[in-house]
Every structure is written in C-alpha cells, then in structure tokens.
Amino acid sequence: MKVFALLSGLRRSMLPLAVAGLTSVGIMVSAQAQQPSPQTMVPSPPQLAAKSWFLMDADSGEVLIEHNADERLPPASLTKLMTAYLVERELDRGNISMDDMVRVSENAWRTGGSKMFIEVDTEVSIRDLLYGIIISSGNDASVAVAEHLAGGEQPFADLMNQHAQRLGLHNTSFANATGLPDPEQYSSARDMALLSQYIINDYPEHYAIYAERYFDFNDIRQPNRNRLLWRDATVDGLKTGWTTEAGYGLVASAKRDDMRLISVVMGTSSEEARAQETQKLFSYGFRYFETLNLYEAGSVLETPRIWGGAENQVRVGVDSDVKMTVPRGRSDELTARLNLRGDISAPVAAGDQLGTLEVKLGDEVLGERPLVALESVEQGGIFKRVFDMVRQFISGLFG
C-alpha cells in the first residue's frame, strides 16, 4: 500500500491519503489522532421555542442540528419555495422566459390571503410574478403561474408532488401552490431545508431575488417578511410562512466567508420569535463549525496501473468538489483513504467509477465519494494486451 500527501486540489488543509485495493484489506494510515482542545469543544445545541427545527450546511449537506425534523406539519407559505422552484426550473430549461406575459384569471385574482395585487384580465410578466411569489408571498401570483404552467392549480400541485418525490422530500405533500390550509398539504423541516438547498445550488442566477427587501408592483411597495434581511447582512433568503394552524415558520440561509448554512424553524409563536430562533441556529452553526473544500473537482488523487491499455496508468480523482463540515479546530484530525479496484483493465471511459474516497474525522467516517477515471484509456494492441495479461498473472502470484 502506498501512502502520500495530497499534491493538489486541497484548499484549506493537507490530508494524508492512504491507498488500498478493494481486493485486499485496507489499512487506514494517518497521523496520531489529537484530542480537541477545550476551546474547540462543541456545546449542546440550543433548544428553541418551535415545533421543529433543522440546521444544515448547504454545500456539504452535513446536518448540524435537528429536532422533530421529519414531523409532518402544515407549511403555510413555505409551500411557495416549491412553486418558485418550478418556475425557476422552467426558466432554466428555456420553456419560459422572464419576459413572457401571463393573463390573470378571475380565479387567481380572487385568491385570498397575502397578495401581490395583480388585477383580473391584465397581463403580468413571469419576472414580476416570480418576485411577487418570493418577496410579497402573493397567493394570487402563485395561482397565476400554476395556471400558466400547468393549466390549473390541481395539475400544478401534481407537478409539485412529482418533483418532491424526485428530490427526496419524503414527508411532503402539496395540494395547492399557495400554502393555504388543506389537510393533504404538509411538509417537514428537513424537507424544506433540502428543497432550499436545491434552489440555492441548482439555480443560483435566480437566488438573488430571495434577498430583496422590497418589491414594488401596481404602485404598491411591499416588504419582504424575512426580518433577518434587515438584521444580518449575511442572510440572503429564503421564505416565511404563517397560518393559524401552522404558526410562524421561516426558512433562511446565510453565508459567512466560505460557509453557507440553511435553517428551518416551524411552528413558532410570532414573526419576532421565528427570527430570534433562527438567529440562535445560525449563531451556533457558524461559531462551532467550519466547512472545508478538501478536494476540487477534477483533482488527480492517484494514477493506478491499468492493464491492457494503450497507456499504463489512468488518472483517478473526484468529479465534484468534496466538502466536509467539521467542528472548528479539528481539521488536523481529518484523514482520507482511497479504496481503489485492484484489477483495472482497459477500456476505461472518463467518469467510470474505479473506487471510493473515504474521509474520516478521528474514528468517525464523515463521508464517502466516488473515485472516477478522469480520462478515457482505450485498449492497447494485441501484443500489449497479451504482455499485460502475463504480467498481471505473475503479479497475482506474488501478491
């Protein structure tokens, strides 16, 4: 087994790498584990005045705090995160444009609750409707886009549920595009955080809308109901919700330095309470954790032998950034191991999985990522393949 320090791709710390073939017993090789010093110890997470809450890192997906995170609760206007997500998805796919005009039906105009104040039989752009959904929390705007994209709110709800299933939102069911009360409409803190992660990562070109403090339409200025946009310059989204049944909820995201967190609180008692409880989550997460970009996409982590190929070696690495969230002050305890196949034979196509990368913090496995070929290697000529076959046989005899 070969052990070496990472030569490229690691941005904030140098992880010793152990390389092991999957056909043999792998041995973790690392520096002697160090006990965290008292100043880096992580206290118990805060307890909140809410029915459920959730805090995760947007890049690594690491869950930092959770309480009743899978409990099915009425989402109220947090529902509009999925409504906006589907609009953004259609924009990204080129099926609609920001300048497309939508005729406002009487049904959309009459929708109760919070409004963007669109008027019946007028035409409103997709751009204004998307702003109205996100900033003004307009139920009228939500119904208008549902009718425009799917022909009605019920078929749009069907689309919402199909995408909820695709995204792995296992405790979510949508019955409308607005979040108005319905017994068949529910979600969870975990699912709302996951949906927000997709919004942030999949369609970053639209994410800036969620940080806007005001939206002006029809000579009416409405403020964003997310109070943290005024209190914390690092907060840049996402959505508030309220009904009598649901209480006050807030899905928020903040970015400090290179770390982005997503928080969810559901079932608080007031607008002020949901803001304060969210601040507690962010204070805890940013104070006691950090997210490291360990390996960048395309980094070459090993060049193992390949048998029967036009080349004798193949470059192996990761095809996406490897980010891990760890307690602050413990990055020196991180180690990594490459578990590579021991019998790689040509042909190999770029992207083929050839093993796994395992990252550990002390004795705890933080995560695994696929190791893939970063290039294609074609088969060699007949003499090269025969020669390698003999060498591979002899190599097997002698281990």
Residues carrying an active site annotation: 77, 80, 137
What stretch of H or E contains 282? helix 271-288
Asked if residues 162 and 53 have their Cβ atoms less than 8 Å apart, the reply is no
User: Quick one: which of 301, 321, 384, 312 has its CA closest to 348?
Assistant: 312
Residue 341 has, within 13 A of its CA and on its CB side, a CA count of 17
Asked if residues 189 and 52 have their Cβ atoms less than 8 Å apart, the reply is yes
Four-CA torsion 59, 62, 65, 70, nearest 10 degrees: 100
- DSSP assigned state of 377: B
Q: For residue 302, count other CB atoms closer than 10 A to its CB.
A: 19
Alpha helices in 26-113 (DSSP H): 80-92, 106-110
CA distance 358 to 27: 12
Residue 178 burial class via C-beta count within 10 angstroms: exposed 0-12, middle 13-18, buried 19 and up: buried
Asked if residues 255 and 236 have their Cβ atoms less than 8 Å apart, the reply is yes
CA distance 13 to 170: 36
CA distance 110 to 93: 31
Strand order in the sheet with 235-243: 63-67, 52-57, 259-268, 247-256, 235-243
CA distance 202 to 369: 20
What are the beta bridge partners of residue 369? 357
Backbone angles phi, psi at 237, to 5 degrees: 170, 180
Strand order in the sheet with 334-340: 3-5, 16-21, 334-340, 353-361, 364-373, 316-317, 300-302
Calculate the alpha carbon distances from 179 to 99, 182, 205 in Å: 26, 8, 25
Asked if residues 188 and 172 have their Cβ atoms less than 8 Å apart, the reply is yes
